[in-house]
């Protein structure tokens, strides 16, 4: 297949890193054909994330969205840290195995995982090991599988926002809040991380300043 016309599958949660990883992946090879894989993981914010996923799909003109239902992952607190954030060492391999199987079914060359840890080197090492493990498990069944790519893994949160600015990504098309509120709570771990990232990048976040932008494309 022509490398300039490849097919990629992007794990997309409707969030900020999903938005920017999608922009990066399509910007690297403009003729790339993309599909989005959305995982319903049972979190409270599933409705909001799904809505913003569709905003991102519309913005990038990606018609194909595959939804995988894995609501057990976060049900009853399973897979959560005490502050409500994902317990990555348990959750991530389940996500990756399901997404990689779907990407292979779609005959995608690559699976994009928009994960980042704000330069936490221990977490980066864990994620790298998880990728190697999942790719090894997949190779036991088939010699040809999509490769897992992590374009944001070794970037600080500030750098991710700066990259989003360079690519002119519509930040208002990304949902981060962990709650089911119709507006960001500004207090959950995800909101606090997002606020700090924009602050460090000296950039106004339109999600917390609604007068600066609209979610309408």
Note whether 74 and 180 are within 8 A (CB). no
- Say yes or no to pLDDT of 1 above 50: no
Asked if residue 199 belongs to a domain, the reply is yes
Asked if residue 37 belongs to a domain, the reply is yes
The domain of 24 spans 3-212
Asked if residue 45 belongs to a domain, the reply is yes
Task: Count the domains in the chain.
Answer: 1
Note the pLDDT of residue 59.
98
Note the pLDDT of residue 77.
55
Note the pLDDT of residue 70.
87
Share of the chain above pLDDT 70, in %: 86
Asked if residue 32 belongs to a domain, the reply is yes
Phi and psi at 36, nearest 5°, equal -105, 135
46-104 tens-digit pLDDT: 999 999 999 999 999 999 999 999 887 766 555 566 766 666 566 788 889 999 999 99
136-175 tens-digit pLDDT: 999 998 888 999 999 999 999 999 999 999 999 999 999 9
Q: What's 27's domain CATH number? A: 3.40.50.620
Share of the chain above pLDDT 90, in %: 73
Note the pLDDT of residue 89.
61
Q: Which of 23-27, 124-128, 139-143, 202-206 has the lowest mean pLDDT?
A: 139-143
Indicate the average pLDDT of the chain: 88
Asked if residue 217 belongs to a domain, the reply is no
**Calpha distance 56→15 (Å, rounded):** 9
**Calpha distance 59→61 (Å, rounded):** 6
Asked if residue 113 belongs to a domain, the reply is yes
Note the pLDDT of residue 68.
95
Note whether 103 and 9 are within 8 A (CB). yes
Asked if residue 119 belongs to a domain, the reply is yes
Note the pLDDT of residue 92.
80
Note the pLDDT of residue 85.
62
């Amino acid at each position: 297949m022509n490398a300039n016309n490849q097919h990629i599958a992007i794990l997309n949660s409707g969030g900020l890193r999903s938005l920017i990883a999608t922009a990066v992946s399509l910007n690297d090879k403009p003729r790339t054909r993309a599909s989005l894989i959305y995982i319903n993981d049972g979190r409270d914010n599933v409705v909001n994330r799904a809505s913003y996923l569709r905003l991102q799909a519309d913005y990038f003109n990606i018609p194909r969205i595959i939804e995988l239902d894995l609501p057990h992952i976060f049900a009853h607190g399973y897979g959560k840290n005490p502050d409500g954030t994902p317990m990555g060492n348990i959750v991530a391999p389940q996500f990756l195995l399901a997404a990689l199987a779907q990407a292979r079914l779609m005959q995608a060359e690559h699976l994009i995982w928009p994960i980042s840890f704000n330069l936490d080197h221990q977490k980066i090492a864990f994620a790298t090991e998880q990728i190697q493990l999942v790719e090894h498990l997949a190779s036991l069944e088939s010699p040809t599988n999509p490769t897992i790519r992590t374009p944001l893994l070794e970037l600080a949160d500030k750098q991710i926002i700066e990259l989003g600015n360079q690519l002119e990504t519509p930040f208002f098309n990304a949902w981060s809040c962990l709650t089911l509120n119709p507006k960001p709570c500004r207090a959950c771990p995800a909101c606090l991380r997002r606020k700090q990232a924009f602050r460090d990048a000296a950039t106004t976040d339109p999600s917390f300043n609604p007068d600066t932008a609209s979610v309408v494309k």
